[in-house]
Chains A and B, each alone.
Chain A
Amino acid sequence: MNELLLEIADDELILGWRDSEWTGVAPFLEEDVAFSSIAQNEVGHARALYELAARDLGTTADELAFDREPSEYRCSELVELRLPEWERTIARHVLYEQADAERLEGLKASDDPEIAGLAAKIDREEIYHRLHAEMWDARLRDEPRYVEALEELRPLVGRRNGHTPELSTLWEEMTSVRRSQPAGTAW
């Protein structure tokens, strides 16, 4: 079960990080707010899932999130890519939210009440991500660049055997502060 928790947590952390790259530079202000808020939620979900796994593994959420090597992450290739094109970002958002909804349904039915309870809470928040994805899917449905992006990214949804080089680049950025051990810090 910890493997599944880490898989979801890694997906949410990495996707949250990628979504946050739109902060300040989205095509318009509403989407700046939307992607920043979605990113904040995803990282919050990752933290709660890491905390649950960490208790069982005898470690901490921060150690799971930041002290593993890139090769140890279980995220799918879909979330790793840096996608500076809006239509590809939306295509990923739509594909991810669909896959995530199915996975959460399974987790909500878990025998472990803590896991089922957390999955239910996460799912409540994800409703709003799905509505946002649905809205954009309806807007871009007939746009050829968007249709191509969906085709391009769909095979990556469940690809977890290896990682793209982009994960290593993101990992360097994401863990740089923690690895630098600024003066006076103890974590």
Chain B
Amino acid sequence: MVTEAQVWEALAEIPDPEIPVISVVDLGVVRDVRVEAEHVHVEFTPTFLGCPALEVMRDAMASRIAELGADPEVEVVLDDSWSTDRITPEGREKLRAAGFAPPTPRGEATTLVQLQSNGFRCPYCGSRDTALENIFGPTPCRSLRYCRDCKQPFEQFKTI
């Protein structure tokens, strides 16, 4: 019989399909794991509702749990419980190392003035002299910014 710790460990090996440097556990989308005999129940919240990685993540989690010899049930919970605040400190560091500026805390209001301000740190050189290039980016969870110091464009994880 598998334990909850083994399931968490296994899920921590599943990369985010669109930002493979971080795992689904780093991303904070796994909300709960419950083990009852051979049955493993996972609660999972999508980052963005239109995220095409949702099915990929759900299927990857189910097959990884099946590999442990258990019977998986992955429940997708569509509520406001996932926030970018749930990205773990390790996850934030992995994002930064891969050239993504981690999100700001949810508590601060997201306004155009705030996004256009230079409060966002460049993941390459650490400068705060950065400009918003586009609210939207290659996936729903990212914005595009430009560092005026090291002249490097970079992606900012949107605060959700």
Contact = CB atoms under 8 A, between A and B. Distances in A.
Q: Dominant SS at the A interface? A: helix
A175 B144 CA distance: 34
Interface residues of B, number: 25
A40 B133 contact: no
B160 A43 contact: no
* Interface residue tally on A, bucketed by range: 20 to 34
Contacts, number: 78
A131 B79 contact: no
A124 B50 contact: no
Interface in B107-121: 110-112, 115
B54 to A, nearest CB: 9
Given A33-B144, A37-B136, 15 more contacts: A30-B144, A37-B139, A47-B50, A51-B78, A113-B79, A114-B78, A114-B79, A117-B78, A118-B79, A125-B49, A127-B110, A131-B112, A131-B115, A131-B135, A132-B135
10 contacts: A30-B134, A38-B136, A40-B140, A42-B50, A117-B78, A121-B49, A128-B135, A131-B110, A131-B135, A132-B136
Interface of A: 30, 33-34, 36-38, 40-45, 47-48, 51-52, 113-114, 117-118, 120-122, 124-125, 127-128, 131-132, 134-135
